[in-house]
Chains A and B, each alone.
Chain A
Amino acid sequence: MSPDSVPVTLLQLYPEELGVAGDRGNVLALKSRLEHAGVEVTVVEHRIGDSLPTDVDLVLVGNGPLSAMRNVYDDLFSIGDHLRAYRSIDVPLFAYGSGAELLGHSIALPDGSTLDGLGILPFRAERVTERAVGYISVDTPFGRIVGFEDNASRWILDPEAKPLGILEVGSGNSAGSVEGVLDAGAIGTQLGGPALPLNPLLTDALIGFVAARRGFDYRPSDVNATVDRYATLAREVILANAKHVFSRI
């Protein structure tokens, strides 16, 4: 069961700059579930100027304002080859919001300029004037996931690319009735809340990618029962209240 006693390494990119929307919660949810399953976890936080570890089992990046994206930009490009190398050996990825956009092809900004991305995720983003704010629900291959979206972005997927799921409530990619992008073990999404604590099935799917690659069996532990119950009830309330339109200006 345990991955031959070598800990699982979670790599979180720019936890301050790209971590303004509770992205720490995604790391916490993964760590907690892995540890409950008897797997030792190491979390590596990558900051500007740090060097990357060679062995990484999952890469996470979160959301931040445009100024923060510009701030990490040079560092991100300097580690681009490392990140591409991880993907070439199927290291899974969970990217939320503007962190995901920096991993796409490009981001078209309101001033007419374009910010190039690393091209690791198969989509491009366009910042738009209309904001999408409120609860969101998406039917994914892993099951239904719910959360909160808050962005002013349109995500345009590459012709061959697959979305993370079909939109049930909310704006998602604001292009087609879909949300996010799913590329083998790599997920890009605008579903926050944060997503992983609220949706244990998505957390388990990511851990499943890690387990498959590392060659260990993963079965969620019974120790998660309380957390799972809270998550289920939180999701029920979110779905019930999803009709609320948050229109504070």
Chain B
Amino acid sequence: MSKSNGFQYFVPVLAGKVVRAAAKIRGGGSAFPGYVTTSLAPNFLRDVTGQFRYGIVYVLGSNGKSTTTHMLTEVLRGHGLRVFTNPSGANLPQGIASSILAESTVFGRLDADIGVLEVDEAFALEFARTVPPSTVLILNTQVDQLYRFYETERVADMMLDTAQQASKHIVTNREDPYLSKIARRYADGDATSGPDISYFGASDAVIAGSPHGLFNATDYRDAGIEAGQHVALAELTDTDRAGATIAVRGEPVDVVLPAKGLHYAIDAAAALATAAIILGDDFSAASASAAFAAMKPAYGRGELLAFGNEMVEFVMFKNAASLQLNLDALPEPPAQVLFAIDEGTPDISWIYDIDFSALDHVDVITGAKAWQIALCLELNGVRIGTVEPDLKTAIDLMRAMPKPASGMKTWIVNYEIMMLARKQIGFLELENQR
């Protein structure tokens, strides 16, 4: 907190809030108010967030940012902290600025003990100059968004460089070939401090039990370098349909997971490791467990929605890793399946790298990529019911099918289709709140 009185922010913050109110009336949020405030008062964000007792946590990664940010936020709240967090998916700098603005007083105050921010990896390093992180959590590096980054190691480097901006703690994935090498950037290795380095991970048995492992990207650049033995502050030791057991500093914490799937269990370990290093002796296994038990599933991540007299189980994916790990988490081939991808996922060539043996059939394939999916499934010998590119008609086809014994229909969808499908079946609220 640099300057004592907040009057310098009165005009810019008010200007931002006015623009924000106007944007809301027009419908929908906007990053523009954040731009208005930051351009009128460039130090505003730094000063507001600099007031937080526990500083700012960045959550970075190829996959699981929203889920983990949500988990960490709830665990910290479960310990009595007031947590500021950005709306799910609003992870670009202007969007984050906009949400900080929305919760600040006109004098540049925001009553919170800590900020937990999901940050887009491409902008994180630049954003760290404006809002310096005290803690950086990096989840994973997956072969993902090649259309955005081309080289997987470029994404890994962006995240590792950002992690080094943390003033206090780096928390990262012991099982990720790129991320687990971060200690090599410091002379003292894992013993380094300012920032210190902590790991989350999974036991050998858990990894061995997963049909396709963790699906993290292979590090070809430093392939010759041994991964090294790191102690995990939080280690996933067991996971089943209902939840997981995660050893935090050796003490088992039982968590209920908002969705099934190994990646969600690892995200939970990431959230617990981060909470434990930030809270120190104040970390309580019981409070953490209780927070997970009370947590609502995030949008589309194993969420069950009413669909007539049946339920729809949403299985949402954004890349090969999340689709494969979601398929691996299916306890048996689902009785009624809709599978959909639209142009929100521009390049789907990676679907040929997926093992579809967890599905014995798909009832309806839909979305703009429907014929491409059908082609891949047909070549892979997965039985196909109907291909119907129009989502609304496809949903009607699913509705017309007899109620399955489980009472549940499984919709495997990308993010954009998930949002559209929710609207179609009458769930209109926006994904925002954590």
Interface string of B319-352 (1 = CB under 8 A from A): 0000000000000000000000001001101111
> How many residues of A are counted as interface, with CB atoms below 8 angstroms from the partner's CB atoms?
45
The answer on a CB contact under 8 Å between B223 and A134 is: no
CA distance A231 to B153 in the complex (A): 33
In the complex, which residues of chain A have a beta carbon less than 8 angstroms from the beta carbon of B380?
Answer: 28
- CB-nearest residue of chain B relative to A29? B379
Residue-wise interface mask of B (145-160) relative to A, using a CB-CB cutoff of 8 A (1 in contact, 0 not) = 0111011110000000
**Are the CB atoms of B352 and A25 closer together than 8 Å?**
yes
Structural contact, A152 and B352, CB atoms closer than 8 A: no
Indicate whether B378 reaches chain A with its CB closer than 8 angstroms: yes
**Which of A17, A19, A131, A134 makes the CB contact (< 8 A) with B220?**
A17
B349: which A residues are within 8 A, CB to CB?
21-22, 25, 148, 192-194
CB distance B371 to A24 under 8 Å?
no
Closest CB-CB distance, B193 to chain A, in whole Å? 31
Q: Does A184 contact B (CB under 8 A)?
A: no
Chain A residues with Cβ below 8 Å from B387 are 230, 233
B23 beta carbon closer than 8 Å to chain A:
no
Q: Are A233 and B371 in contact (CB under 8 A)?
A: yes
User: Which residues in B have their C-beta under 8 angstroms from that of A150?
Assistant: 146-147, 150, 347
> Chain A, 159-192, contact with B by CB distance < 8 Å: what is the 0/1 string?
0000000000000000000000000000000001
- Is B375 part of the contact surface with A, judged by Cβ < 8 Å? yes
Q: A244 — nearest CB in chain B belongs to which residue?
A: B343
Any B CB within 8 A of the CB of A133: yes
Do B371 and A237 touch across chains, with their CB atoms under 8 A apart?
yes
Q: A67-B151, A67-B221 are in contact. Are A246 and B346 (CB under 8 A)?
A: yes
B122 at the interface (CB under 8 A from A): yes
Q: Judge whether B180 is part of the interface by a CB distance below 8 angstroms.
A: no
Do the beta carbons of A134 and B378 come within 8 Å of each other?
A: no
Count of B residues near A, CB < 8 Å? 35
Task: Please tell me if the beta carbons of A65 and B152 are within 8 angstroms of each other in the complex.
Answer: yes
Whether A21 lies near B150 (C-beta < 8 A) is no
Given contacts A230-B374, A249-B148, contact A24 B346 (CB under 8 A): no
Report if B143 contacts A (CB, 8 A): yes
Residues of B within 8 A of A236 (CB): 371
Which residues of B (166-205) have their CB < 8 Å from a CB of A? Answer: none
Q: What's the least CB distance linking A23 to chain B, in Å?
A: 8
In contact, B371 and A65 (Cβ under 8 angstroms):
no
Q: How far is the CA of A237 from the CA of B380 in the complex (A)?
A: 21
Chain A residues 101-135 with CB under 8 Å of chain B are 131, 133-134
Give the CA-CA distance A68 to B349 in the complex, in Å: 18
A-side contacts of B368, CB under 8 Å: 237, 241
How far, in Å, is B245 (CB) from chain A's closest CB? 32
User: Which B residues touch A68, using CB under 8 A?
Assistant: 218, 220
Q: Are B375 and A197 in contact (CB under 8 A)?
A: yes
Q: Does A1 contact B (CB under 8 A)?
A: no
Q: Contact: B353 with A22, CB < 8 Å? A: yes
| Interchain CA distance A22-B375 in the complex, whole Å | 13
Give CA–CA (A194, B346) in the complex, Å: 13
Contact assessment for B346 and A21 in the assembled complex, using a CB-CB cutoff below 8 Å: no
Are B148 and A21 in touch, CB under 8 angstroms? no
Q: Whole-angstrom distance between the alpha carbons of A249 and B155 in the complex?
A: 14
A234 touches B350 (CB 8 A): no
Residue of B whose beta carbon sits closest to that of A28: B379
Which of B147, B150, B370 lies in contact with A248, CB distance below 8 A?
B147
CB contact under 8 A between A21 and B146, given known A150-B347, A192-B349, A234-B371? yes
Residues of B within 8 A of A238 (CB): 372
Among residues 387 to 403 in chain B, which have CB atoms less than 8 Å away from a CB atom of chain A? 387, 389
Shortest Cβ gap from A51 to chain B (Å): 21
Would A66 and B151 count as touching, CB distance under 8 A?
A: yes
Residues of B within 8 A of A249 (CB): 122, 148
| A71 contacts partner chain B, Cβ-Cβ < 8 Å | yes
The verdict on A226 contacting chain B, using a C-beta distance below 8 Å, is yes
The answer on a CB contact under 8 Å between A24 and B353 is yes
CB-CB under 8 A for A71 and B347, given A16-B218, A66-B151, A226-B378: no
Q: Which of B362-387 contact A (CB under 8 A)?
A: 368-372, 374-376, 378-380, 387
CA separation between A133 and B147, bound complex, in Å? Answer: 6
Residues B95-132 near A (CB distance < 8 A): 122
Contact A32 B151 (CB under 8 A): no
The answer to whether the Cβ of A212 comes within 8 Å of any Cβ in the partner chain is no
Minimal Cβ-Cβ distance residue in A for B143: A20
Q: Is there an interface contact between B376 and A25, defined as CB atoms closer than 8 Å?
A: yes
Chain B positions near chain A (C-beta within 8 angstroms): 122, 143, 146-148, 150-153, 218-221, 223, 343, 346-347, 349-353, 368-372, 374-376, 378-380, 387, 389
* Residue positions of A touching B, CB distance < 8 A: 16-17, 19-25, 28-29, 32, 64-68, 70-71, 131, 133-134, 148, 150-152, 192-194, 197-198, 226-227, 230-231, 233-234, 236-238, 241, 244, 246, 248-249
Query: Could you list 24 examples of A-B contacts with CB < 8 Å?
Result: A16-B218, A20-B146, A20-B350, A20-B353, A21-B350, A22-B349, A22-B353, A28-B380, A66-B151, A67-B151, A70-B221, A71-B220, A131-B147, A193-B349, A194-B352, A226-B378, A227-B378, A227-B379, A230-B387, A234-B374, A241-B343, A244-B343, A246-B147, A248-B147
Q: A67-B152, A230-B371 are in contact. List 12 more A-B contacts (CB 8 A).
A: A19-B353, A21-B347, A28-B379, A67-B220, A71-B223, A150-B347, A227-B375, A230-B387, A234-B374, A237-B368, A237-B370, A248-B346
